[in-house]
Amino acid sequence: MMFRVDRDVLAEAVAWTARSLPARPSVPVLAGMRLEVTEDTQLKLSGFDYEVSAEVTLELQTGEPGVVLVSGRLLAEITRALPAQPVDLVVEGAKAVVTCGSARFTLLTMPVEDYPSLPAMPPAAGRVGSDVFASAVGQVAVAAGKDNTLPMLTGVRMEIEGDTVTLAATDRYRLAVRELKWQPDQVDISAIAMIPGKTLADTVKSLTTGAEVEIALSSTGGTGEGMIGFLSGGRRTTTRLLDPEFPKYRSLLPTEFSARAELGTGAFVEAVKRVALVAERNTPVRLAFRGDEVVLEAGSGDEAQAVEVLPVDFDGDEINIAFNHQFLLEGLGAIDSDVARLQFTTSTKPAILTGGKPVDNETIPDYRYLIMPIRLSG
């Protein structure tokens, strides 16, 4: 087996494939990256750890068919460091020789026959703009839990009904929900998938090289049970799904509010960051909304204290409410708007954070970030 390919093209493809390789593989062979030159002079690079698979296909100018398995992370480090010249890879017995300009590396190969076969891609379900999808996933994944002892809270729930996709994630302290339109292959499609949050976020960020992302979803009784796949720009990746169990989140979203506040997102973010400098890890930032201003405070008693006042467009009953400052900042970072809109019921019930001003009060924003308040003592 041998091939020649442009250094930048190879380095990008190897780096993308290597990102899914396990840091601590259960068996050594899973640390490998499989390189295959096909009969039609294509190079396929793939990785698989039984949970997530990744494969990218490149067109070659020259190559001889064959398959080799080498250390994926080492190959990624090597290709990233190579000079900007064509790269040659030749398999010589139990070694793979990488040559680029005057640089030459010899890698030990691993037994290809011990490497697991990549799962088949599930049936295609539809497609969506890659930038829109990446943005939507980023907005929702921020609220996914990090505690692996509660797997259902570490995922992003994807609900598909016709031409609408709803993404939702929660860690019990906040909830993010985003709706977007897509192009389904079947107009009456209805499906639910629970996707590992970190895997989904990492995957979609790396698939924006193509204009669209094709989503492939396993159907009941079909091949690839419990699996979802994404294809874009010559790249394909699959991941196993989590148990579909998820909190009934729609009932948590309030529909009536006693107060509404709108203020500049950038100024709000900077003020929260400044005030939070004196907040201990589990102490809240307190917000007092009244008239045309909001007073931000943190710290109390014998501790360091901070106070800042911001102008606000406020309507409704005066309210004192407190939030985990990190959760609040992550929500403000996700709304993707110059104007932050907070809606309240009471100081002890969840608030809804959205971006911008809706056309009218009946319009439900496509992105909502629900955040639980922290009870104030006294």
Q: CB of 260 within 8 A of CB of 314?
A: yes
How are beta strands 155-161 and 124-129 bridged, if at all?
Answer: unpaired
d(CA 328, CA 334): 10
- Check pLDDT > 60 for residue 360: no
pLDDT at 224: 41
Task: Give the single-character DSSP code of 39.
Answer: T
Rg over alpha carbons for the chain, rounded to the nearest Å, is: 25
pLDDT at 222: 38
d(CA 52, CA 192): 19
d(CA 319, CA 58): 58
pLDDT at 358: 54
Report the range of poorest mean pLDDT among 226-235, 245-254, 369-378. Answer: 369-378
- Where helices occur in 22-152 by DSSP H, the ranges are 72-81, 130-141
d(CA 339, CA 25): 45
Q: Which residue has the higher pLDDT, 265 or 281?
A: 265
Q: Which residues pair with 353 in a beta bridge?
A: 342, 369
pLDDT at 359: 46
Q: What is the DSSP string of 135-204?
A: HHHHHHHTTS---TTSGGGSEEEEEEETTEEEEEEE-SSEEEEEEEE-EESSTT-EEEEEEEHHHHHHHH
Strand order in the sheet with 174-181: 190-196, 155-161, 164-170, 174-181, 367-371, 351-355, 339-344, 259-264, 313-316
3-class state of residue 343 by DSSP = strand
d(CA 31, CA 44): 17
pLDDT at 275: 96
> H or E stretch including 295?
strand 293-298
Tell me: the pLDDT tens digits for 298-353? 987 777 899 999 999 999 999 999 999 999 999 999 998 999 999 999 999 999 99
Residues 6+ apart with CB under 8 A from 164: 179, 180, 181, 182
Tell me: the pLDDT tens digits for 158-194? 999 999 999 999 999 999 999 999 999 999 999 999 9
The pTM assigned to this predicted structure is 0.90
Domains and CATH numbers, the chain: 2-114 (3.10.150.10), 124-250 (3.10.150.10), 253-371 (3.10.150.10)
Largest CA distance in the chain: 78
Residues 6+ apart with CB under 8 A from 12: none
Please state, for a pLDDT cut of 70, what percent of the chain lies above it: 96
